[in-house]
Structure 1
């Protein structure tokens, strides 16, 4: 059964948010490469957390596609 419009939008929003987080993580990584080691390590910790959150959002998007998460009308 195809996804409803609200669920399609929810999935799209989750994937877009994950992509934005991944792009921001890449920007932080690029800027941190010129930093001293201690600052670089702090930045890499933030990048790692951003990637974890992006992965979680993509997993939620997959659950929406599988209809385990649905947006209902209120």
Structure 2
């Protein structure tokens, strides 16, 4: 089953948001490596939360692909 244009856009946006979160998490990790241990541990908690959210967004994107989540029509303002 092929996706409608709104669902393709939704899936693409979810995957892009997940990628951005992972990219930022990697940047935070890289910068935190030079910090003191306590600061590093705080940063790692944030990185972990970002990865959890990215995983959740990717799972939503998979649900869109499977047809479990659907965008009916784009909202017009």
Secondary structure, in 3 states, of the residue corresponding to 1:34? coil
- Say how many residue pairs are matched: 74
Structure 1 consecutive aligned stretches of length 4 or more whose deviation exceeds 2 Å? none
Is residue 19 from structure 1 mapped to residue 19 from structure 2 by the alignment? yes
1:68: which partner in 2? Answer: 68
- Please state how far the C-alpha of 1:26 moved relative to its aligned partner: 0.1
Is residue 2 from structure 1 mapped to residue 2 from structure 2 by the alignment? yes
- Please state how far the C-alpha of 1:20 moved relative to its aligned partner: 0.1
- Please state how far the C-alpha of 1:7 moved relative to its aligned partner: 0.1
Secondary structure, in 3 states, of the residue corresponding to 1:35? coil
Structure 1 unaligned runs (5+)? none
Structure 2 unaligned runs (5+)? none
- Please state how far the C-alpha of 1:10 moved relative to its aligned partner: 0.1
Q: Please, what is the CA RMSD of the aligned residues?
A: 0.8
- Please state how far the C-alpha of 1:41 moved relative to its aligned partner: 0.1
Instruction: Quote the Cα distance in structure 1 between the aligned partners of 2:31 and 2:22.
Output: 14
